[in-house]
Structure 1
Amino acid sequence: MLHVWRISGDELAVFPPEQLSSVRALKRRLEPLCGLPRFRQRLHQNGSDLEDDAELSAPSHLQLVLLPFAGTSQEQVKELRAASASGSGLKVEGILQRPQDPNLVDEGGDASSPLFAASQRGHLEVVQKLLEAKADLRRREDSDTPLHAASADGHLEVVSALLEARAESKSNPLRLTPLHLASASGHVEVARLLLQRMAREGGRDPKQHLQGLLPLLPMASAYGHTAIIRLLLEAKVDKDLSDPLGLTPLCAAAQFGHVDAVRALLEAGADRDHGSHRGLTPLQVASAQGHVAIVKLLLQARACSEKRDSRGLTALWVASQKGHGDVVRMLLDAGATDQANNLGQSALSVASQEGHAEIARCLATGLRPAPEATLLSRSPQ
């Protein structure tokens, strides 16, 4: 048997030797008993300090010595951060064996922690060593935690290691969680892992967990990350919830010309006519940008071409003003009518004013009158 004794002479633990392959494995078993990680433990046998890689033999009587952190200069602080940023696991191991506090930072220079630097760059081995040394998971760098950094850059294994170590997926001061950052960058597997973590936390679903934060789906839609969109829709995220600018996910995807994202949202039943805070519909924003394929998709989904925003502008009006002839013809073919805006200016007049002669001819010859115009023309003189 392996007997481990405190300096006081009290026996701390007894282990069968077949359960432990090395001194490192023994130290890890001792951590919950002594409260310190292996880097701050020393095991002595017959007056000699045993290296972590040394094999154990039985019967053995070992003495455990617990160490405080060594005094550390600013150069040594910088050294650990540099080794962590470069992914040098061997060097990080040696520094932590001094033992050096992994949470010290260079206050006069780069104040990011070694764990943040390693997480941001995806150095899994270094992250694991720093976590074992009790590096602070919650320490923030420019408002972000190591989990934010790893999620933003798509380092799946590092994200998994941080979550396993109980890293919190809370938001930063900008109301962005690690899931937001992974979604914005299109890191599907990282987003999936974070969603699974949310589902396990106290039985809460993602909608409850993300309440009060920036809506995720408009962000993913604006970037056109269709796989992320489908993942969020599977998690029952509100498909019509607007962002702070008032754009719904469908509006955001239409605005930036993401055809596949628009298709995914329409297939999921997103409201095709849901307007922004100014009344802008997905069809209006797509028409204003000249996104022909998206206009076609929305019209096929029976989006209303007669919707007006707060200024009285329709999809036909904005397409005519911007000179998007293909969109104008498509809207006309779908039965769009020339409704004047709140100032009484028609699509025909604005097209003429902007010098879009072909569009003006198209409007003048191919447009059926709006219902309001028809009623006015039939009213008594």
Structure 2
Amino acid sequence: MSRFRQRLLCNGQMLNDDSPLQGSMDLHLVLLPVIDMTDLAFRDVDLVDAAEFGNVEETEEILQLPADPDVVGLMSWGEHPATPLYAAAARGHAGVVRLLLEARADIDRVALHQGTPQHEKPFVEACLAGHAEVVRLLLKARAAANQTVTCYTSDTREEYERPILGPILESQELEVGRALLEARADPASAHVAMRFALQENQSEIVRLLQEFGAEVPEPRLRRRYVR
């Protein structure tokens, strides 16, 4: 259980982090349930808003209530719901992401609207936005490096899934790509990125993939389209 839901009492009084401990003390550890955020007393408390705008101090205060780190709310740019971790990851606020992970936020949770997912997972969104520090934090929290992202065909707009590494390198997000490869993303899943990099003389992408074991295709195969 995270520190946000723990209170240490001495003779019925709560101890703060800087409270001195002297000699023999009668200490009691109390584990608190999360508060009901629908209660009118907390109508002005918005964890998603604090996370979206990178307010570390406010996020800490709300989590200390203690609030549910996975509470769903609205982000400023739309009417659809999001989790605090998604809001912070999408904006690249690493400090807030650290707090939410410490509070045991669910790294795979996706907010729903009428049963439909409203966004990618926080990890995928951080990758697509190029927030390498956040990506590394989520990988450390055991996010899978080989996750997929929803893509669309250019003609019929049909959905299909691709491993995240390819689109990241095609967007030239090299630092994020390196983080994924270091976390054992499959370099072979970026074969389209390799082909584009060869065609456009993007040597850094080619070298990065080769560093992690990708093979450079034969010249006669480089112009073949592979989805």
TM over 0.5: yes
Give the drift of 1:54: 2.0
Aligned residue for 2:55? 88
Q: Which among 98, 107, 119 is matched to residue 89 of structure 2?
A: 119
Which residue number in structure 1 is paired with residue 187 of structure 2?
A: 206
- Whole-Å separation in 2 of the counterparts to 1:222 and 1:214: 12
The change in CA–CA distance for 1:147 and 1:222 in structure 2 (over 3 A counts) is farther
Q: How has the CA–CA distance of structure 1 residues 77 and 126 changed in structure 2, closer, same or farther, with 3 Å as cutoff?
A: farther
Query: What's the RMSD between the two structures over aligned residues?
Result: 2.9
Distance 1:92 1:223, change over 3 A: farther
CA separation of 1:186 and 1:55: change in aligned 2, threshold 3 A = farther
Counting aligned pairs with the same residue, the percent is 36
Identify if the C-alpha distance between structure 1 residues 47 and 273 changes in structure 2 by more than 3 Å, giving closer, same or farther.
Answer: closer
Amino acid across the alignment from 2:38: S
Structure number with larger C-alpha Rg? 1
Cα distance in 2 for partners of 1:115, 1:159 equals 12
Structure 1 residue 44: Cα displacement: 0.7
1:153 aligns with 2:129: yes
Q: Map residues 131-280 of structure 1 onto 2, 5 A cutoff.
A: 131-140=101-110, 142-169=118-145, 170-174=147-151, 175-198=161-184, 206-207=187-188, 210=189, 215-218=192-195, 220=197, 225-240=202-217, 270-272=218-220, 275-276=223-224
Deviations 1:202-241 (A, max 9, x none): xxx633xx3xx8744235557764322221133232433x
* Correspondences of 1:278-289 after superposition (within 5 Å): none
- Residue 156 (structure 1) shift: 2.0
Q: Deviations over 1:108-145 (max 9, x none)?
A: 93312111111111111100000011111112364522
Q: How big is each residue's C-alpha offset from its partner over 1:46-75, in whole Å with a ceiling of 9 and x where there is no partner?
A: 211123x32442433321111111111297
Whether the 8 Å contact between 2:5 and 2:64 is mirrored in structure 1 is yes
SS at match of 1:176: strand
Contact 2:195–2:222 (Cα < 8 Å) also in 1: no
- The alpha carbon displacement at 1:94 in A equals 0.8
**In structure 2, distance between residues paired with 1:134 and 1:123:** 17
Which fold has the larger relative contact order, with Cα–Cα distance below 8 Å and residues 6 or more apart in sequence?
A: 2
Q: Which stretch has the larger CA shift, 74-83 or 110-119?
A: 74-83
Structure 2 partner of 1:54: 18
Residue in structure 1 matching 2:79, options 100, 109, 113: 109
- In structure 1, list runs of 5 or more residues that go unmatched: 1-35, 200-204, 241-269, 278-381
- Say if 1:80 and 1:181 are closer, same or farther in 2 by CA, change over 3 A: farther
Q: Between Structure 1 and Structure 2, which shows a larger proportion of helix residues?
A: 1
The answer to which of 214-223 and 97-106 deviates more is 214-223
Secondary structure, counterpart of 1:172 in structure 2:
strand
Report the counterpart of residue 8 of structure 2 in structure 1.
43
Distance 1:110 1:235, change over 3 A: same
The 2-side partners of 1:125 and 1:69 are apart by 22
Compared CA separation, residues 56 and 181, structure 1 to 2 (3 A):
farther
Q: TM-score, normalised by structure 1?
A: 0.47
| Other structure's SS at 2:219 match | coil
1:66 matched to 2:66: no
- Displaced runs of 4+ in structure 1, greater than 6 A? none
| Offset of residue 85 of structure 1 | 0.7
Q: Per-residue deviation at 1:162?
A: 0.8
User: What's the CA shift for 1:272?
Assistant: 4.5
Using a 3 Å threshold, how does the CA distance of structure 1 residues 273 and 149 change in structure 2: closer, same or farther?
closer
Unaligned runs of 5+ in 2: 111-116, 152-160
The separation in 2 between residues aligned to 1:178 and 1:206, in whole angstroms, is 11
In the TM superposition, what whole-angstrom CA distance separates every residue of 1:284-343 from its partner, at most 9, and x where no partner exists?
xxxxxxxxxxxxxxxxxxxxxxxxxxxxxxxxxxxxxxxxxxxxxxxxxxxxxxxxxxxx
What CA distance in whole angstroms lies between the structure 2 residues aligned with 1:106 and 1:198? 33
